[in-house]
A = this chain, B = another copy of it.
Amino acid sequence: MVANRRDSLIDAAAQLLDRGGPAAVTLREVGRAAGVSHNAPYRHFADKSDLLEAIASRELERLADSFGKGGGRPREMLQAYLQWALLYPERFRLTFGPWRGDETALGKAAFRTRAVLVEAVAREQQEGAMPKGDPVRLAALLLASANGAASLALAGHLGRPGRADLSAENLVADLFDYLETATPA
């Protein structure tokens, strides 16, 4: 049942990430959790950044899969996106944080995730439920809004005492409502 060593190292690193952020992902602790020495990971990853990148790549693949399930509507996809981000803050920050490489597995996974959303937006447009226009650009706006809403919510930049309605979910819902209003009948 145990996957190959590379996968088990990614598993261990992801769990450490969830608990304490990127700083808690030390190669010594990763090795200990996987039952190997502290520099055995260097046989599978170029360095620590490469290991973190492998986590992000896996998260993007899973995100694309979750987009595929459900009714295939943009609204549901973005809500799934928010649930994932708020449930796994560190994975979210890592996945959509800055990269280094150009044409890595990460870039391809990100492209696939976006493509699923773009198709859903295009369908919605044809049904007259969203404004016309380039679906790639509209999907980018949706992703940007959800990303920012989740980021600000996690950082405590949205909430203030007595304003529980300022949630990431509500902000994204507002955006969809505005888009619906902006769609000619």
Asked whether B137 lies within 8 Å of A174 as measured between CB atoms, the reply is yes
Dominant secondary structure of chain A at its interface with chain B: helix
A105 interface hit (Cβ, 8 Å): no
Contact A166/B182 with A151-B96, A155-B96 known, Cβ cut-off 8 Å: no
Oligomeric state, in number of copies?
Answer: 2
* In-complex Cβ contact of A98 among B144, B146, B154 (8 A): B154
Asked whether B140 lies within 8 Å of A144 as measured between CB atoms, the reply is no
Complex-state Cα separation, A118 to B107, whole angstroms: 37
Within 8 A of B (CB), among A26-63: none
The residue on B at minimum CB distance from A90 is B98
Complex-state Cα separation, A93 to B96, whole angstroms: 11
Residue among A89, A144, A166 with most chain B CB within 10 A: A144
Contact A152/B144 with A131-B181, A137-B174, A170-B137 known, Cβ cut-off 8 Å: yes
